[in-house]
Structure 1
Amino acid sequence: MPHDRRLLVAIHDVGPRFESQVDALVDRLARLLGQMRFAMLVVPNHWGEAPLSSNRAYQARLRRWAEAGVEMFVHGWFHRDDSAHDGAIARLKARHMTAREGEFLGLGHAEALRLMTDGRRLIEDVVGAPAAGFVAPAWLYGDGARAALAEAGFAVAEDHMRVWQPATDRTIARGPVITWASRSRPRIASSLAVAALAPGLLRGQRVARVAVHPGDTGVPRLLASIDRTLSAMARDRTVSRYADLVP
């Protein structure tokens, strides 16, 4: 197997709000990949309804996963977009690319930095190790969030098209994330179509990224597609950590 071709896999929206769905995805990925070499994107208080800070049982679960080799990323704070967006492009992204979940798209620098710092402190305290990096909800960053990232001290960040080192803005992987959408029948159909083509289309990419979400567990067709896609990609790629990309 060529060791310069890597596969990165992540579970998004990890936290007490989706406890059973995340458990199911952990079991699935561990079986498909044969190891706990994947990432979790942890939301400190999903939609203000599931605070990690007061849930000792879930904290212990995250710590056990981290000790087993799972990389822990900070994934926003609320995962909810409450901003009033300036500009047509930002409003279009907020309305059509996500269901009010692009939390960091409209935040100013100071607020973005505060939430990044608070999220990092919480998750590092919970798992007893440095956070692997930061990923904004829905992979959407506004100017304020990008400026804050350069100061927040994270080793790695990603959006839908690249992985980079925030301190220097150095890109360490390029290419789209393969993911699935469960919000509507058209989104399900389109994500199934893209995933079916992904192993072939990304064959020339040095790094392939796959992301799964709690909502995927409620759609059997999506789960079957996840199984096929990961099995195909893992055959000729090294299952890796984001940290493996950092020189």
Structure 2
Amino acid sequence: MPANAAPPHRAKRLIVSIHDVSPRSERQVDQLAEALSRRVGDARFAMLVIPDHWREAPIAGNAAFHSRLRGWADAGVEMFLHGWCHRDETPATEGLAGFKGKHMTAGEGEFLNLPYQTARDRMAEGKAMLEDILGRPLAGFIAPAWLYGEGALKALADVGFDLAEDHMKVWRPATGEVLARGPVITWASRSKARIRSSLFFSALARTALGPMPTVRVAVHPGDTTVPALLESIDRTLARFAASHAVSRYAALLPGAA
């Protein structure tokens, strides 16, 4: 039985996402979508969309990219807002926030240090723009690099997103209810050391995370530049598609079919 037709009685779920979707990464996103489809089925994944990637690739006014987004959504891809520009424009230099900004991302923790009102404005504007383009509600919000500051966490509940995600969980912003726990499996391509460490972690995860009821796999456009990462992604998807039902994030919500 193909992975996208997994028996409905399976309790375990595999949730897959493509990050950093924008006009700047369109070719790589197509490559990733093709690779994912071979393992989990056509459009059986989520896309995380950036409205203006690094202030260099605005979606507003890009009719061709609007059409692509609608086509993906119409085919069944879940759509999330993924920040606004994906760049940390208010970097911290001290404390835990400074450590996260320096070591957990390459200057891309956009929502780690934003004050509440700025975070709320970016979330609300991005949500309105994408929902207008798609003609349907977004599935939720996922911060760039999975990093949230206090202002962003407060804004999430106020803007009205159904779902949010960080490295270790998926939750409902309105109530704080945690819907899934466990580390997301992802890869890094920006240095040889990070490539090695992500290959090591994904290999470990293929064994260690097997018992988890929900396994999340996230891929990035940069992964397409490293053949070893693409091979690891394929092996990871094959492993979990054999034991977990390929699912949508929305299936985690209470009362979902």
Structures share fold, TM-score greater than 0.5? yes
Q: Which residue of 73, 77, 81 corresponds with 1:74?
A: 81
Partner of 2:214: 207
Q: Which residue of 156, 162, 186 corresponds with 2:163?
A: 156
RMSD: 1.0
Asked whether 1:180 is paired with 2:176, we answer no
Q: Which residue of 49, 52, 65 corresponds with 2:56?
A: 49
TM-superposed CA distance for 1:84, in Å, is 3.9
Matches within 5 A, 1:15-164: 15-85=22-92, 87-164=94-171
DSSP-derived class of the 2:201 partner: helix
CA 1:149/1:86 → structure 2, altered by over 3 Å: closer, same or farther?
Answer: farther
Partner of 1:217: 224
DSSP-derived class of the 1:54 partner: coil
CA distance in structure 1 between the aligned counterparts of 2:206 and 2:55, rounded to whole angstroms:
37
Q: Partner letter of residue 97 of structure 1?
A: M
DSSP-derived class of the 2:210 partner: coil
Preserved CA contact (<8 Å) 2:91 2:101 = no
Instruction: Report Cα offsets for 1:169-201 as digits up to 9, x if no partner.
Output: 000000000000000001000100111121211
CA distance in structure 2 between the aligned counterparts of 1:204 and 1:108, rounded to whole angstroms:
39
Normalised to the residue count of structure 2, the TM-score between the two structures is 0.94
CA distance in structure 2 between the aligned counterparts of 1:3 and 1:87, rounded to whole angstroms:
46
CA distance in structure 2 between the aligned counterparts of 1:34 and 1:72, rounded to whole angstroms:
17
CA distance in structure 2 between the aligned counterparts of 1:182 and 1:96, rounded to whole angstroms:
14
Q: Partner letter of residue 148 of structure 2?
A: Y
Q: Which residue of 5, 14, 18 corresponds with 1:11?
A: 18
DSSP-derived class of the 2:60 partner: helix
CA distance in structure 1 between the aligned counterparts of 2:41 and 2:23, rounded to whole angstroms:
25
Partner of 2:197: 190
Partner of 2:3: none
DSSP-derived class of the 2:20 partner: strand
CA distance in structure 1 between the aligned counterparts of 2:217 and 2:29, rounded to whole angstroms:
15
TM-superposed CA distance for 1:225, in Å, is 0.4
Identity over aligned pairs, percent:
57
Q: Which runs of 5+ in 1 are unaligned?
A: none
Instruction: Report Cα offsets for 1:112-147 as digits up to 9, x if no partner.
Output: 000000010111111111000000000000000001
